[in-house]
Amino acid sequence: MSLKKQFVKTKPVCKVTFSIDAKDASSASVVGDFNNWNAEEGALSKLKNGTFKATYDLVKDAIYEFKYLVDGAYVNDPEADSYKWNDFAGSENSVLVV
C-alpha cells in the first residue's frame, strides 16, 4: 500500500495516487470523504503485478478520511498520515492531509 502526493502549482489541487497490493483480490476501491464513501467512484484498476491503483485530484489544504475496500473488506493504509476513530464504523479510518 502506498500514498503518493503530487501538488499542482497552477491549481488548488493535489494529485493523490492510492495503491494497494492485493494479488488475490478480484476488486478494490478507495472510499472516503472525497467521494462520499462510494466504491464505484473510487474503483481502482488492477495492474499485472497484482497492485490496484488510481490517481485522484483532491482539493489542497484539506483533511480526508478514507479506507480501501478489497473484496468487500475494509482495510486501512499503513502509510496514512494518521488515523481517526469512527463511531459509525466502530473502527479507525486512515487520514490523508493534503
Q: Is the pLDDT of residue 1 over 70?
A: no
Residues 27-68 pLDDT 10s: 999 999 999 999 999 999 999 999 999 999 999 999 999 999
Q: Are 57 and 18 in contact (CB under 8 A)?
A: no
What helix, strand, coil percent values describe the chain, rounded to 5? 5, 55, 40
Cell 500514498 locates to 3
d(CA 41, CA 45): 12
Residue 43 three-state SS? strand
Whether the full predicted model's pTM is greater than 0.85, yes or no, is yes
